[in-house]
């Protein structure tokens, strides 16, 4: 019993569970994480996983910190897919592919980009961005009337 | 006279030659939806490189089809408007206007604080006591901080004792963080003994900069 408790405590202390790659650090207005077909309201401290899609409503904005110390945020009316993410905290090798379908995105790249400049890629409907560091913003306005 | 008769005949002939209009069945078509040519706003995109708080500006390479834009100056932008891609120079104010809300939501950047200790103890130096206040104030500003506290020693004494001392230093600092209300579940600690010297020295060297705790927060 005591050991079970200890194991649970150390899981909590790890802050981020296995499979979790980041954490919601800011959420204002309507913010959701789409995960395996489910739409979960995003709250402060909520873990972010690979393959999650971060969605904000017309009044929403959100900020996420990742395990390699990358930081990003989205403004209102945004859809950002975290398509691939992996980071080795020993070697600092990894990869981070994100795709902004619409809205606004701000990015500060982290340790994996310092380690290997091709580690992070951000896509938009028309282009693909190679990130050599460190800070940039992206805006996508979908075709419409 | 003859001319007149001939003229009348030609006119009459022309009238009779007109084919009678054919009786057409009247078909009432459903009134068609008026398809006005919709002016579709095309896809628009902007990518802007920003200077870091330390003044350094990185590089972003935008690949759009066969076109490649290298952005490496503050507020240099690659823009797609009306199907046309171009490199433009934006201003800080223009970026604030378009990206203000997103930038406001950007979480505090992960960072590291250092605190130093009196030889062979888990007591902070007087200087670090002052630094501790600033550190705690900075940590309080962060939403759901995720903290790793790592203790270190100099090379004086036995490595095994230094392992324990470094762990005690880390735990001491964890205590300070809990006192200001940071949940213990968000704080991990580790003692690295004399394995990760900030200033490399030989064994048994009293080096104040190695007697430290690192607080890594994100």
**Residue that is written with structure tokens 């005690």 in the block:** B168
How far apart (Å, rounded) are the C-alpha atoms in residues B47 and B81? 12
Sorted by where each begins, the domain ranges of chain B are: 45-104, 111-217
How far apart (Å, rounded) are the C-alpha atoms in residues B129 and B135? 10
Q: What is the pLDDT of residues A72-104, one digit of tens each?
A: 999 999 999 999 999 999 999 999 999 999 999
Chain A: give the shortest CA distance to residue B19, in Å: 51
B101 at the A interface (CB within 8 A)? yes
Q: Under a CB-based contact definition with an 8 Å cutoff, are residues A48 and B144 in contact? A: no
Confidence of residue A16 (pLDDT cuts 50, 70, 90): very low
Domain presence at residue A94: yes
Query: A89: domain CATH number?
Result: 2.60.120
- Looking at per-residue pLDDT, the higher value among A142 and B197 belongs to B197
* Crossing angle (nearest 10°) for helices B159-179 and B126-140: 50
Domain presence at residue A58: yes
Domain presence at residue A6: no
- How is B106-169 classified by DSSP, letter by letter? PPPPPEEEEEEB-TTSSPBPHHHHHHHHHHHHHHHTSSS--EEEEE---SSS-HHHHHHHHHHH
Quote the tokens at residue A111.
Answer: 């340790």
Q: Domain total for chain A? A: 1
Chain A: give the shortest CA distance to residue B110, in Å: 6
Give SS3 for A101: strand
Q: Are residues A106 and B106, on separate chains, in Cβ contact within 8 Å?
A: yes
Mean pLDDT, chain A, integer:
89
The CATH superfamily label for domain B111-217 reads: OmpA-like domain (3.30.1330.60)
Q: Are residues A71 and B107, on separate chains, in Cβ contact within 8 Å?
A: yes
A65, A135, A139 member nearest B50 (Cβ): A135
Q: What is the pLDDT of residues B6-15, one digit of tens each?
A: 555 555 555 5
How far apart (Å, rounded) are the C-alpha atoms in residues A21 and B2? 108
Quote the tokens at residue B49.
Answer: 């490189």
Domain presence at residue A82: yes
CA angle A5, A11, A16 (to 5 degrees): 160
Q: What is the pLDDT of residues B187-197, one digit of tens each?
A: 999 999 999 99
Domain presence at residue A7: no
Domain presence at residue A5: no
Say what the pTM is.
0.81
Interface of B with A in 183-212 (CB under 8 A): 184-188
Q: Are residues A137 and B47, on separate chains, in Cβ contact within 8 Å?
A: yes
A97, A88, A91: which is closest to A67 by C-alpha?
A: A88
């Amino acid at each position: 019993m005591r050991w079970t408790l200890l194991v649970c405590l150390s899981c909590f202390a790890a802050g981020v569970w296995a499979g979790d790659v980041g954490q919601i650090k800011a959420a204002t207005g309507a913010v959701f994480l789409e995960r395996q077909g489910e739409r979960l309201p995003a709250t402060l401290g909520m873990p972010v996983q690979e393959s999650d899609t971060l969605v904000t409503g017309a009044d929403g904005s959100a900020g996420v910190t990742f395990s390699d110390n990358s930081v990003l945020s989205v403004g209102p009316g945004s859809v950002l897919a975290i398509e691939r993410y992996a980071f080795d905290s020993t070697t600092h090798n990894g990869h981070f592919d994100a795709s902004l379908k619409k809205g606004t995105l701000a990015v500060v790249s982290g340790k994996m980009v310092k380690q290997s400049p091709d580690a992070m890629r951000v896509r938009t409907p028309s282009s693909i961005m190679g990130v050599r560091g460190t800070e940039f913003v992206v805006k996508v306005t979908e075709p419409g009337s | 006279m003859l001319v007149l008769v001939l003229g009348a005949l030609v006119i009459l002939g022309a009238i009779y030659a007109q084919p009678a209009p054919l009786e057409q069945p009247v078909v009432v078509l459903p009134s068609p939806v008026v398809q006005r040519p919709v002016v579709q706003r095309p896809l628009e995109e902007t990518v802007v490189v920003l200077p870091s708080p330390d003044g350094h500006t990185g590089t972003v390479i935008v690949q759009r089809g066969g076109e490649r834009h290298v952005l490496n100056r503050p507020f240099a932008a690659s823009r797609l408007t009306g199907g046309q891609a171009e490199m433009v120079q934006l201003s800080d104010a223009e970026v604030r206007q378009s990206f203000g809300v997103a930038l406001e939501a950007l979480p505090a950047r992960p960072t590291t604080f250092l605190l130093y200790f009196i030889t062979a103890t888990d007591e902070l130096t007087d200087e670090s006591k002052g630094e501790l206040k600033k550190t705690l104030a900075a940590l309080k500003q962060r939403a759901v901080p995720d903290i790793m506290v790592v203790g270190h020693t100099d090379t004086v004494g036995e490595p095994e004792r230094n392992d324990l001392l470094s762990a005690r230093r880390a735990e001491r600092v964890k205590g300070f963080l809990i006192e200001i209300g940071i949940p213990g579940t968000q704080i991990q600690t580790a003692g690295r003994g004399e394995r990760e010297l900030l200033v490399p020295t030989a064994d048994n060297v009293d080096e104040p900069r190695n007697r430290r705790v690192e607080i890594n927060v994100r």
